[in-house]
């Protein structure tokens, strides 16, 4: 089995531990220190507050395409130091040959809404 078909079964309790929520991107800045092309991204997660991350999505997205867009983030991983920047959430997406495609929300939901 390759990594795309191999999956370790988890329990519902395991899934419930992952805090996957909707947020709205509020600010995007260049991240020239990143090893791979990336943006510094800030998102409003409603009751969970504003958080920042480094996201390797520069191949497909400009700041103008991102600001105001709702995204899906994992907000309960430990913070991660990425060069001089501290990442506070994981912006979810799908790797493609052209670059990472961010996870889309089909219609607006309140910031902080948890994935069901």
pLDDT tens, 6-59?
789 999 999 999 999 999 999 999 999 999 999 999 999 999 999 999 999 999
How does pLDDT run across 58-69, given as a tens digit for each residue? 999 999 999 999
76 Cβ contact list (under 8 Å, min separation 6): 17, 18, 19
Distance CA 36, CA 108 (A): 31
In a domain, 116, yes or no: no
In a domain, 4, yes or no: no
The total domain count for the chain is: 1
Q: What is the mean pLDDT of residues 83-88?
A: 95
The pLDDT-based confidence of 5 (bands split at 50, 70, 90) is low
In a domain, 49, yes or no: yes
- CATH number at 52 reads 2.40.50.140
Q: Which domain holds residue 69?
A: 24-102
- State residue 6's pLDDT score: 76
Residue 78: pLDDT over 90:
yes
Distance CA 17, CA 29 (A): 30
């Amino acid at each position: 089995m390759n990594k795309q078909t191999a999956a370790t079964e988890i329990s519902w309790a395991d899934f419930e531990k992952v805090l996957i929520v909707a947020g709205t991107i509020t600010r995007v800045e260049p991240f020239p220190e990143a090893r791979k092309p990336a943006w510094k991204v800030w998102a409003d997660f409603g009751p969970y507050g504003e958080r920042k991350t480094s996201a390797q999505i520069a191949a497909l997205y400009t700041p103008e395409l991102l600001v105001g867009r709702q995204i899906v983030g994992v907000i309960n991983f430990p913070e991660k130091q990425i060069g001089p920047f501290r990442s506070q959430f994981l912006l979810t997406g799908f790797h493609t040959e052209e670059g990472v495609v961010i996870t889309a929300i089909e219609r607006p939901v309140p910031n902080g809404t948890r994935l069901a």
